[in-house]
Chains A and B, each alone.
Chain A
Amino acid sequence: MVTLNPDFVSELATAGGENAKMCFQCGTCTASCPSGKNTAYRTRKIMRMAQLGLKDMIIGSDDLWQCTTCYTCEERCPRGVPIVDVVIALRNIAVANGKMYDAHKKTASNLIKFGHTVPINDKIKAQRVELGLPEVPPTVIANEKAKADLDVIFKATGFTKLIG
């Protein structure tokens, strides 16, 4: 059964998606969405479901994860709804409720492990040296202290625990 969840409005607001309420359902976003052309994802529908508090429906479906964050809809929305912010807020809520795709989780654990979303490898090291660049770029991966600092941030925000 579909249940309306009035408390969801405040949950969404806390996550940064408060302005979903400004949407008046014109459908310009759906008509502009390149991702919706290939999938069942309908931007307008997500906004409506957010307004109604259909939390379980939103976080239970793949649709929310089809947005490429291209901003095409947001540029055209006549109500100035920060659509991408709303999508991001909804995704944050989905993730907090345990909805995580393995591929995304991998990216997140790379960040925790290396401070970057992709690891370095021997081939890249060799190419860098050949180009006269330092073998390892002068970022967090080249400095243990900096990496430890980053870990402190991830622990403080609960990210390390979230990704597990």
Chain B
Amino acid sequence: MAKYAFFLGCIAPLRYPGIEKSTRVVAEALGIELVDLTNASCCPAPGVIRAFDKKTWIAAAARNLALAEKNGLDILTICNGCYGSLFDAAHELSENKDLLADVNEILSKIGLEYKGTTKVRHFAEVLYNDIGIEAIRSKIVKPLEYEVAAFYGCHFLKPSKIKQLDDPENPHILDELISVTGAKSMPRKQKVLCCGAGGGLRAGFPNNAMKLTETNLENIKESGAKYIIDVCPFCHLQFDIGQKDLGYTFPVLHLSQLYGIAMGMDVKELGLSAHQTPVTL
């Protein structure tokens, strides 16, 4: 049985707990054992914290990586931001021994050491690569008939040079993960356009962030999609909250929630009351 250190991050557990819950239930159904990465912190957020002070970013990320390493487990994330941060940090620390030594000097103050062995995985990618579409198909009890927009976000696939998961310009992984539920992923323009939230834009320059969100929403509407399916709680939040001011009402679901529905979870367990745009199924 595949076993991972479950890295919660910030937005899922503290704003959309239904994403956390659905992930736990779906993982169990698919034979993935999730062991809570207790005492973990924010990844830390690449947009603001990395931009403020890289040394702080990588030291705090290394603490998270070291906690997983101590448990002998690789990390599983449900957020593109956490995935981006922790994957990049693990990559940099494996490439740069001097940096690793600097970071370990800091970690030694709290009795930790990072040896550099933790792998960082994204929930959607683990489903696609390790569990496989056919095994997922066998767990679908309620085929869905939704027409949806597959929203990849940025840090799931990019930078593709180090992530090597899919074509960053015209990806298909998430479309396949959606199609297996019976839902139809509608082709649309600018499929990999940023949601607008990243890089500190949502907090610092909300007007620019909202313009990107709006372009996405226009493209989604034009495609005929009725739902937005994401793999990142931050994209999720940007659409769920952001669209209210823009006059759109697309229900927004994280992939784990879509799977929860298709695998027969009680709708009450999806945590839809946390969503600002009502979700009608």
Contacts and interface: CB of A to CB of B under 8 A. Distances in A.
Interface of A: 15-16, 34-35, 38-39, 62, 65-72, 74-75, 82, 84, 87-89, 91-92, 95-96, 100-101, 103-104, 106-108, 111, 115-120, 124, 127-128, 130-133, 137-140, 142-143, 145-146, 149-150, 152-154, 156-159, 162-163
Contact of A88 (B42, B45, B51, B212): B51
B204 A103 contact: yes
Interface of B: 8, 10-11, 13-15, 17-18, 20-21, 36-42, 44-56, 59-60, 63, 106-107, 109-110, 112, 154-155, 158-160, 168-169, 192-194, 196-201, 203-205, 208-209, 211-212, 215, 269, 271, 273-274
A128 B17 contact: yes
A49 B202 CA distance: 26
B46 to A, nearest CB: 6
Contacts of B60: 150, 153-154
A128 B39 CA distance: 18
A111 B45 contact: yes
Contacts, number: 209
B211 A38 contact: yes
A156 B106 contact: yes
Contacts of A66: 201, 205, 208
Contacts of A87: 51
Given A103-B203, A157-B106, A131 B51 contact: no
